[in-house]
Amino acid sequence: MFKRFRRLRINETLRNLVQETVLTPDDFIYPLFVREGQNIKTEVASMPGVYQMSIDEILKECEYLVSINLKSIILFGIPDTKDSVGSECLCGESIIARTIKAIKAKFPQMFVVTDLCFCEYTDHGHCGILDPKTGSVDNDKTLEISAQQAVVHARAGADMIAPSGMMDGIITTLRNALDENGFKNLPIMAYSTKFASGYYGPFRDVAESTPSFGDRRTYQMNPANRLEAIEESLEDEKEGADILMVKPALAFLDIVRDIRNQTNLPLCVYNVSGEYAMLKHAGIAGLIDYERVMMETMIAFKRAGANIIISYHAKEVCEILRKN
């Protein structure tokens, strides 16, 4: 006697009844990139379908996202002026602050997450204040200005803050700053396990954040380290993070599962620009069934243990889910 697994596969309705992992629009956060100006919607060559947009175009995009039931976005800013410490993002009228206010005024139901970092705002492209002796980021000085940036985002109306710079102690720093300024109920989604990955290449085109020298391996994680990856996320949980994250996603599904097995916190994955670009360009070239592979990839993230998926595919996924 042997088990006939095919009994549960032959009928489509039965296949759907026993499907273990499903996708809904509530699983997704969609990245948006805002820059100064009016009537700007510039497609990024390395990431077809991804745009730099001015605030007025961001509002048009949010209107469409609401119509397909995609309720959550994460904002990245592209300023006109950069300096050594990213001063633009520390003021109440920063490009991010103005965008949050504009979105919340017109679409109060939109859940606005803000990426908190300095790489887009510094003239050197690194994620904080540089230490002149080491040429790397000064962790503790960067914590101080990160707290300032978090309060700016909170006062503008952000629904959740997501610090991506991989500074040690960032969650404790932001939690204290937010609590002291009356934002005890504002959640923090930690970029808790973020690798120094080659998959980020196209993001630096859209965010204009390529380092002017060196790389980020002194503060982002070594992709070879599994145990350290788990420890990074568990430390952010101890410091008070509300949601953990693994970034990138596709090549690190083993880490997603490892962390899922170690914590009860919600877990996010960031399906990054290089992962998106590979599928997109392969689809354009006719090498894969793009929609099928895209949906299969999203299922893989959830099956590995993710509750939330940040993805440049999110809009297309929600369009497909709406049709079905």
Catalytic positions, written as ranges: 194, 247
3-state SS assignment for residue 123: coil
The Cα–Cα gap between 68 and 64 comes to: 7
The answer to whether 89 is annotated as binding is no
- Contact indicator for 273, 33 with CB cutoff of 8 Å: no
196-to-215, 229, 246, 255, 257 alpha-carbon distances in Å: 8, 12, 12, 14, 19
Of residues 186, 83, 91, 64, the one with CA closest to residue 126: 83
The Cα–Cα gap between 158 and 271 comes to: 22
Tokens of 29: 């956060």
Measured distance between the N- and C-terminal CA atoms of the chain, rounded to whole angstroms: 38
29-to-36, 70, 309 alpha-carbon distances in Å: 23, 8, 6
- 145-162 burial: b if 16+ Cβ within 10 Å, else e: bbbebbbbbbebbbbbbb
The answer to whether 155 is annotated as binding is no
- Contact indicator for 315, 68 with CB cutoff of 8 Å: yes
In what helix (H) or strand (E) does residue 32 lie, and over which residues does it extend? strand 28-35
The answer to whether 119 is annotated as binding is yes
The answer to whether 219 is annotated as binding is no
Mark out the alpha helices in the chain (DSSP H runs).
Answer: 12-17, 55-67, 95-106, 139-156, 170-180, 201-207, 226-239, 253-260, 273-284, 290-304, 314-323
Q: Which residues contact 60 (CB under 8 A, 6 or more apart)?
A: none
Q: Which residues contact 32 (CB under 8 A, 6 or more apart)?
A: 53, 58, 61, 73, 74, 75, 76
Residues of the binding site for Mg(2+): 232
Residues of the binding site: 117, 119, 127, 204, 216, 232, 273, 312
Residues of the binding site for Zn(2+): 117, 119, 127
Residues of the binding site for 5-aminolevulinate: 204, 216, 273, 312
